[in-house]
Amino acid sequence: MSGVITGISETAFSDFVHSLVDVIGHADRAVPLKDYCLGLLLPVERKSVEPLAAVTSPSRVSSKHQSLLHFVGQAPWSDEALLARVRERVLPQIEQRGPIKAWIIDDTGFPKKGKHSVGVARQYCGQLGKQDNCQVAVSLSVANAAASLPIAYRLYLPETWCDDPERRRKVKVPEEIGFQTKPAIALDQVRTAKAAGVAPGVVLADSGYGADGSFRAGLTTLGLTYVVGVQPTLSVWRPGQAPLPPKPWSGRGRPPSLLQRNPDHAPISAKALARELPPEAWKTVCWREGTNVDLSSRFTALWLHLASRDYNLTEPRPEEWLLIEWPEGDEAPLKYWLATLPADTSLEDLVSIAKLRWRIERDYQELKQELGLGHYEGRGWRGFHHHASLCIAAYAFLVSQREAIPPSGPHIAKNLKKLGIPEGYRSRGSPDQAGTPRQGFDCDHPTMFDRSPKSLPPAMSILYTTNNN
């Protein structure tokens, strides 16, 4: 590996990988672990198993390919144990730059052409911005203002897969995996992180999670605060209002106990409430320095009761913040959040923590574009998760090395010297490959993420300071 990583200590990389070996079981997995992570860090056009074998062992591609294929697709090491060790190793370095402020929940999609890869179905794909054939994974990341790191990652398995024993058998879905909604998966990840003693933060999520009342209630039960997106149709009481008390008891039968509402005293949608606010209720807030201009918009925050089905309750729901963003000049509000932060939280602090969710988008961009998160070509449950765990481990190493490269120093991606590849080698599926004994092997070949087939990966911006983000 001599000379492969310029500007970053080879010893640091070797030490990092060595610290992971004992959680993947047998010692003979140490070499494929190191090679796989190294290959993910190198500027290889595609980071599926065969190209990684070629770039890490050019003199014996075939045997290395079989070794890596077994390691990522079949070896029974624990993804949870690996990610926990990565977290233990890297989180203290992230916390040196400030305490953990947020736990960020999100999901990401991987477009697929076939129908046999585990979990693939026609569903919403954020990468494409529409419904399409794809796989979707749910993740939990921890973040402060300087860095973030995924600490849990699990494939969402649609009901059509869960209820099909033959499909499950072919891709080896574990028996204990049943159908769960994405919010339910995320809540399990949060429970696990809390039980593991991960430094707590405010839970952030978009409206795909925040609109689920059970998800929000679960976070509150765990003693966690949240700032989560909600829909403009959310039913709320105007500030200072609450549902009416139960009807007076007539003296006969059981005393009424349920809250009331009537046509003259009714809740309102979040969108309608935003529209009836006066102009002075809105304030321009800057939440981050952008590359060219500061990022700012108009916001308001209202302390109020939620009204969703409170006619079935005996007490009003606790008050919480409704945060609304309405950019200057837009015809309608852009985003809505619910927040259980304290009543004396400033508007600026509410906006700052809500907007910290951008970090997970940055993580996914780096993981996909630079580390090949979506490049795995196998179909099975184990391989899908193993590949993702190794991508996260490689990403965590880069995050841990942020301090090793000053802002004006060299980019790691520009200083990863391309290892020798056998003359005439062409990766499976390359456009110039006229014939191959494995043509059509990858019928579920995922779409490249915002990159032409021949383009080289750009410099890894994760190594810049946050002021340049």
Instruction: Decide which of 294 and 457 is more confident.
Output: 294
pLDDT tens, residue by residue, 91-100: 999 999 899 9
DSSP calls for 194-210: HHTTPPP-EEEE-HHHH
Half-sphere exposure for 227 (CA within 13 Å, toward CB): 24
Phi/psi at 394 (5° precision): -65, -40
Residue that wins the pLDDT comparison between 49 and 442: 49
What residues does 318 pair with on adjacent strands? none
Distances in Å between the alpha carbon of 24 and those of 18, 48, 398? 11, 20, 21
Whole-model pTM: value is 0.84
Indicate whether 148 pLDDT > 60.
yes
Average pLDDT of the chain is: 85
Other Cβ atoms less than 10 A from the Cβ of 44: the count is 23
State yes or no: pLDDT of 428 exceeds 80: no
% of the chain beyond a pLDDT of 90: 70
pLDDT band at 8 (very low <50, low <70, confident <90, very high): low
3-state secondary structure of 157: coil
Once rounded to an integer, what is the mean pLDDT over residues 133-156? 96
Give the closest residue to 150 by CA, choosing from 163, 167, 137, 159.
Answer: 137
Query: What confidence tier does 253 reach under pLDDT thresholds 50, 70, 90?
Result: confident
The three-state secondary structure class of 12 is helix
Quote the CA–CA distance of 101 and 352 in Å, as a whole number: 11
pLDDT digits (tens, 9 = 90+) for 180-239: 999 999 999 999 999 999 999 999 999 999 999 999 999 999 999 999 999 999 999 999
Does 432 have pLDDT greater than 90? no
Task: Check residue 434 and give its pLDDT.
Answer: 40
Q: Taking residues 70-96, what's their average pLDDT?
A: 95
* pLDDT bucket at 403, cuts 50 / 70 / 90: low
- Other residues' Cβ atoms within 10 Å of the Cβ of residue 12: 14
Instruction: Quickly tell me which residue has 């003259």 as its tokens.
Output: 264
Cα Rg of the chain, angstroms? 25
Q: Which residue has the higher pLDDT, 6 or 163?
A: 163
Instruction: Specify the amino acid at residue 111.
Output: P
Please, what sign has the CA dihedral across residues 106, 216, 202, 344? positive
Question: CA 178 to CA 155: how far, in whole Å?
Answer: 12
pLDDT above 80 for 382: yes
